[in-house]
Amino acid sequence: MDNACIKCGRCLSVCPVYKITSHERFSPRGKNDLIDLCLEGLLPNSHIAEAVNACILCGRCKEVCVLNIDTPEIIKKMRRRLWPEQKLHLYRSFITEKFLAFLQSETKQKVDTGIWWRLFALTRTLKFLPISFASRPFLSNIPTPAPKDTLKTKGTIAIFVGCGVNFIYPHLGEILLKLLGAMGFNVIVPPTQTCCGLMACSLGDIQTASRLAQQNISAFTQTKADIIITPCASCYHQLKIFSPYRQAGISPKVVELSQFLVNGGIETILKKVSSLNIKQIRTTWHDPCHLRFHHQIWEEPRQILRQTTTFVESSPEGQCCGHGGSFMLNFPELSERIFSQRQQAILKSNTKLVFTTCMGCLLQLQSHLGKQKARHLLEIFV
């Protein structure tokens, strides 16, 4: 699919999967070689499936590649080719993806307890739990903001909630809703929005990803919002890069949360809303791969923490936590080993709190460090 690779090995030095396995077939260049052989008819699909799926899609290989080979995109295209025969083998991620897509397509967002227990049974052997599912999804109980004179507001912002906030962290949606209102914006939460489709897209299920995108496009186009903000870094990534969102004009309206807050002036915001009294508490930041390596966003969240806490750097290079959505479901042991390296750096920083904005990263951090230590950036603004 891309024969330009000169086998320099730069990607090996940054790939989190290769660094803990030392298997060439799990390296970016090894995967590209296997994909080329498969496309040339020299290897069957079954011989490369494991290697192609054992990728977090973090994007670090592309960042360091001297030829700018887009290995994550190559792998995603190959996964689309493999999906029809792979979906039953990748049963954990397949069922989870279908679960999220189905449940969030229900406009009333009713929770069937039986569905939750089936999902729990599916994942009970994985350490990405504990998850405390909300008694009611955020979208089924959207707080109604006080009406504002639209002529006197700064503009209209629509919130893309995402699966994590909707089902597990509804309090984050409530914080964001109040925060934006206090900043002087008219805030809309489209009730018919659904999953962004990132997991489906990453797995290769482009049909489901496109269907979910069309539902979101319909929901957000009707709002006529000036800006779209999501609390989740991974949802932000999908809304910015997936072609249906770009073609519909949704992507240009999507603004990353930390950049939005910094541009709004942290000191000004703190005068309008209450915040945690943590100026003297040592904190650190965990970079979501989607933000750092796909969108080059890493300074703004650190700037927020410097202004509100005693910030300590724990990973200037942006270590991966090993979650990777479907990667954690399909390769839990590798995910654990990758996180152990990130955990060592966090513990070495001797910090009390670690913040992030990716729901997958937050789940990974909380499952190992605890809910009191791992927090979402919005939780600074109580």
Residue 108 shares a structural domain with residue 233:
yes
Q: Can you give the pLDDT at residue 98?
A: 63
- Residue 64 included in any domain: yes
Torsional sign, CA 128, 129, 132, 134: positive
232, 260, 288: which is the final residue of a domain?
260
CA 276 to each of CA 260, 308, 350: distance values in angstroms, whole numbers, following the listed order: 20, 9, 20
> Which strands form 374-376's sheet, in the order they lie side by side?
310-311, 282-285, 353-356, 374-376
Which of 218, 234, 260 is the C-terminal boundary of a domain? Answer: 260
Specify the number of domains making up the chain.
3
**What is the pLDDT at residue 97?**
62
281 and 334 in a common domain: yes
Could you tell me the pTM of the whole model? 0.90
**Residue 271, pLDDT score:** 82
d(CA 211, CA 207): 6
Domain end call among 240, 260, 280: 260
Residues 45 and 162 in one domain: no
Mean pLDDT, contiguous 10-residue spans, the chain (382 residues): 80 96 95 94 92 95 94 95 79 61 53 45 49 81 65 85 92 94 93 92 90 95 95 98 98 98 88 81 97 96 95 96 89 94 96 97 94 95 82
Greatest alpha-carbon span in the chain: 65
CATH code (residue 179): 3.40.50.1860
Res 117: pLDDT: 43
Residue 4 resides in a domain: no
Asked, for residue 256, whether it belongs to a domain, the answer is: yes
Q: Are residues 186 and 277 in the same domain?
A: no
Structural domain span for residue 146: 94-260
Q: Is residue 5 part of a domain?
A: no
For residues 334 and 322, is the Cβ–Cβ distance under 8 A? yes
In a domain, 2, yes or no: no
> Based on the domain organization, do 235 and 319 belong to the same domain?
no
Compute the half-sphere exposure of residue 107: CA atoms within 13 Å on the CB side of its CA: 3
Cα(291)–Cα(298) distance, rounded to whole angstroms? 7
